[in-house]
Amino acid sequence: MSRVLPTTTKMKSLVILISGRGSNMQALLEARLPAKVAAVISNNPEATGLEIAKMYDVETVVIDHRAYPDRKAFDVALAKKIDFYRPSLVALAGFMRVLGDGFVNQYKGRLINIHPSLLPAFPGLEAHEQALEEGVRIHGCTVHFVTSRMDHGPIIIQAAVRVLPDDTNETLSARVLQQEHRIYPEAVRLFMKGRIKLSGSHVEVSNVASENSVLYSPELHK
Ligand code: GRF
């Protein structure tokens, strides 16, 4: 006798790419997302984030970029591994390799990054130093879709923090990091719920209760 099994809707999944500490990855693992983290992939075998991922029982993979003759070969190997997990979304979380055009185009609209500045200000390394150097009053972080330009692309959510007169790189980066851990899971949640629409170079977020869903400014009203 055959039994009719109930149809289940398959849970969406996410692959996270890291290179180091993995605190944003951990924020994603701790968040209650409407998606499963299928794997954490690191290009760096020494990334401490790999140990954290294991503590959360998440599959970890190392694809050491040094084992490949060039960037393209690394990108191809990385894409092959990502596709094995069939994720709806790929999230860069402190992933320190520049990805080539082919890779970026392959994942267009489902590849996101977090950067510790209010983009388009201060792309690249040492965003906090750049902000302090320029004497900006407001700094923050951005979750954005990835394009082939580094730290550039349609902006999903930003969080702003006040720069205090006695801020150092350490104090400022710690305050920004707190906000990173808040907006990255939120961006993934919005994506997984199908509430993010990429419209040219802009992102439209549907059903936002208030502007606070896409812009956090926790300290600016103090
Ligand atoms: C974060 O500041 C992130 O915005 C940037 O790299 C850093 C990674 O930190 N892209 P972690 O590995 O997530 O702790």
Q: Is residue 202 flagged as an active site residue?
A: no
Half-sphere exposure of 73 (CA within 13 A, CB side): 7
> Residue 135 has what DSSP assignment?
T
Amino acid 216: pLDDT: 77
Is the model's pLDDT at 43 over the cut of 70? Answer: yes
Please give the distance, rounded to the nearest whole angstrom, from the Cα atom of residue 96 to the centre of ligand 1. 9
Which amino acid is residue 181, in one-letter code? H
21 lines ligand 1 (CB under 6 A): yes
Average pLDDT over all residues of the chain = 93
How sure is the predictor about 8, in pLDDT bands with cuts at 50, 70 and 90?
Answer: low
Give the global pTM.
0.93
Q: Closest Cα partner for 206 from 192, 194, 189?
A: 194
Instruction: Name 66's Cβ contacts closer than 8 Å, sequence gap at least 6.
Output: none
Q: Whose CA is nearest to atom 14 of ligand 1?
A: 23
User: What pLDDT score was predicted for residue 131?
Assistant: 97
Query: How high is the pLDDT of residue 3?
Result: 52
Of 65, 115, 139, 202, which residue is the catalytic one? 115
Residue 40 parent element (H or E): strand 36-42
Q: Give residue 197 CA to ligand 1 midpoint distance, Å.
A: 25
